[in-house]
Structure 1
Amino acid sequence: IYFINEEFNLTNNLGAHQRQNAALAAAACRSLGIDDIIINNALQTFHLPPCRFETIDTQPLIIIDGAHSPVKVASTAKLIAEKNLKPYIVFGCVANKDAKKMLAHLIPVAKKIILTRFDVLVRKAANPFVLEKLVPPTKHGGTFLDWRDALQQAKKMAKKSENIVITGSLFLAGDVRSHWIAPDEILKYRSSFGKK
């Protein structure tokens, strides 16, 4: 598989991981005989699913990313670096995930890391106070049992020109996203992005 960014106009809003996926999809379409114009149009109108490096607010810029494994978090950290962000990171993960490896990818790109947990009861969240041991004191921005308090802390710390990234779990990403786009709104408008 080779990278086809030169042949197709892949949007620069995608990270390396998403560009690779788009290149693979385009190559598959081309092998099926789909016209390059149709493929290019699809690539230009493509939107990432919710909670995949999704900008949810501005001033400060707030990005939600559901990265939930060391490999996915590494991709998120790489994208943060590519975009020259130095975010306040709100982090929470499922208890059985390798939080040490996940945080090892985030610590170098973070201004501060704020630890929390999600509300979803179907999966056990990692205890944010246990996660504290994995974050150097110079990078620790606070620990909260409620993600709402963690988000509020990040907003207090970040200037309007700075940014916040919420990551570590799709459960956390979904909880935080509901602060901006309520599940009822998604159902009402039959769109993951609510009213447009």
Structure 2
Amino acid sequence: MDITNLLEYMYALERFGIKPGLEVMKALLKALGNPEKKLNVIHIAGTNGKGSTAAMLEFILRTAGYSTGLYTSPHLVRFNERIRLNGKEITNKETAELVQKIKSVCEKNNIQATFFEFTTTLAFLYFANKKPDYIITETGMGGRLDATNVVTPIITAITNIAIDHVDYLGNTEREIAVEKAKIIKKNIPMITAETNEEIIKLFKEECKKNNSPYYNINDEFNINISESDTKHQLFSTNGESYEIKLVGEHQVMNACLAIRIAEMLEVKKEHIINGLKKAEWPGRLETVSKNPLVIIDGAHNTTGMKALRKFLDKYYPKVFLVLGISEGHHKREMLKEIVPIAERIILTKGKYRGEDPKNYKDLIDKKAIIISDVKEAVKKAMKMNRDIPILITGSIYMIGEAEELFL
């Protein structure tokens, strides 16, 4: 089978849906010789900022001379983006070989894996073969029953807690925090950027129960942002100055989390500074076109929309909005954040788990047109508009479709 057919086989596993639980993962990994036990993993959970934190940390470690593995999800354009070795995506040939191996093991042992379980297994097997110094792994969703939670990491990080994936994780921040806190392992240090006192108390209790050292960057870092614009940010903390390309003040907190993890790994300050300066992460307040100005951002929940709105209020108070939301998200709250600054609106629908715009068009108190095909929606916006920035946001899957137009 070629890579196209093998990927189609993997995507077809989506028919098994999302099945929280670790039994399948443990069985599959055992049948493969438990590759996850051979890895030095930094395990990152949290509602927002996982990917950005992971990416910045990976750049830091690579700059320091370490070999790195990076496992993130979802991808924007290509499946291969999910699994990277030293910043380079897994090749089609490597992917095909591992898919065939795992597929054979599943069939031989009558194991029915979901897409994410299969993909996570593929990543662990790939990294076990390549033996990088560190593997940075982000959870797919939640923590306790997430497929990645079979690892025993060397450091655990939880970026923050907000409302998301309520069908699986709970309806309140506390319920969601309980799920995510279960990635905390016995005697393994845990670090967070959380600010909610109730959630912090919960994290501390979980750390105490597991004899795990607890760190919070809000206790340790006195952050001063000296410059923040549409191209970069300059900030200082604890006597050191840093620069990052990722824009939006929320990225400074993600950067500080990456800094603290790097410090725990005893990375030299010069490598932290230089690594952060080079770090990139597509789809996060990313300018993909300058004429017309087009910005893409994966603000896929209310908290993400609030961070996006804070940035836009400062630099782009009026936008042409191309919006596509995932199924089941808090549409009313998300719309409340972004619609007020939209002068024109096109609603669209991502191919994967996209919400039909007809289901929320009536929640918008402005004129909006529906163009279901994402690429056609973006093309229409670019034809209609020249005077204000075009903002493409909502589902991460949807912005990935849009991103293809600008490659």
TM over 0.5: yes
Indicate yes or no: 2:86 matched with 1:86.
no
Q: Is the 8 Å Cα contact of residues 325 and 355 (structure 2) preserved in structure 1?
A: yes
1:45-194 superposed matches below 5 A: 45-48=278-281, 50-120=282-352, 123=353, 125-137=354-366, 140-159=367-386, 161-181=387-407
Q: Is the 8 Å Cα contact of residues 57 and 63 (structure 1) preserved in structure 2?
A: yes
By how many angstroms is 1:11 displaced?
A: 2.9
Structure 2 unmatched runs, 5+? 1-217, 225-234
Q: Is the 8 Å Cα contact of residues 319 and 388 (structure 2) preserved in structure 1?
A: yes
Q: Is the 8 Å Cα contact of residues 85 and 163 (structure 1) preserved in structure 2?
A: no
Letter in 1 for 2:369: G
By how many angstroms is 1:13 displaced?
A: 4.7
Q: Distance in 1 between matches of 2:316 and 2:405?
A: 26
- Residue aligned with 2:242, SS: coil
Structure 1 residues 107-139: Cα deviation after superposition (integer angstroms, max 9, x where no partner): 22322222111123xx2x2111222111112xx
By how many angstroms is 1:14 displaced?
A: 1.6
Q: Is the 8 Å Cα contact of residues 29 and 39 (structure 1) preserved in structure 2?
A: yes
Q: Is the 8 Å Cα contact of residues 70 and 98 (structure 1) preserved in structure 2?
A: yes
Letter in 1 for 2:339: I
Q: Distance in 1 between matches of 2:246 and 2:315?
A: 9
Q: Distance in 1 between matches of 2:341 and 2:363?
A: 15
- Residue aligned with 2:241, SS: coil
Q: Is the 8 Å Cα contact of residues 245 and 278 (structure 2) preserved in structure 1?
A: no
1:36 to 269, 273, 277: 269
Give the structure with higher Rg (CA).
2
Q: Is the 8 Å Cα contact of residues 115 and 131 (structure 1) preserved in structure 2?
A: no
TM-score, normalization by structure 2? 0.40
> Once structures 1 and 2 are overlaid, which stretch shifts more, 143-152 or 164-173?
143-152
- Residue aligned with 1:9, SS: strand
Q: Distance in 2 between matches of 1:92 and 1:131?
A: 10
Q: 1:82 to 1:116 in 2, by over 3 A?
A: same
Q: Distance in 1 between matches of 2:372 and 2:316?
A: 30
- Residue aligned with 1:76, SS: helix
Partner of 1:26: 259
- Residue aligned with 2:312, SS: helix
Q: Distance in 1 between matches of 2:383 and 2:337?
A: 24
Letter in 2 for 1:149: E
- Residue aligned with 2:321, SS: strand
By how many angstroms is 1:99 displaced?
A: 1.2
Q: Distance in 2 between matches of 1:134 and 1:149?
A: 23
- Residue aligned with 2:271, SS: helix
Q: Distance in 1 between matches of 2:363 and 2:264?
A: 46
Q: Distance in 1 between matches of 2:317 and 2:242?
A: 24
Structure 1 unmatched runs, 5+? 182-196
What do you get for the CA RMSD once the two structures are aligned? Answer: 1.9
Q: Is the 8 Å Cα contact of residues 245 and 277 (structure 2) preserved in structure 1?
A: no
> Once structures 1 and 2 are overlaid, which stretch shifts more, 30-39 or 168-177?
30-39
Q: Which one has more relative contact order, counting CA pairs under 8 Å at least 6 apart?
A: 1
- Residue aligned with 2:391, SS: strand
> Once structures 1 and 2 are overlaid, which stretch shifts more, 93-102 or 103-112?
103-112
By how many angstroms is 1:85 displaced?
A: 4.4
Q: Distance in 1 between matches of 2:372 and 2:261?
A: 45
Q: Distance in 2 between matches of 1:10 and 1:81?
A: 22
By how many angstroms is 1:31 displaced?
A: 3.8
Q: Is the 8 Å Cα contact of residues 62 and 163 (structure 1) preserved in structure 2?
A: yes
Partner of 2:248: 15
Which structure carries more helix by proportion? Answer: 2
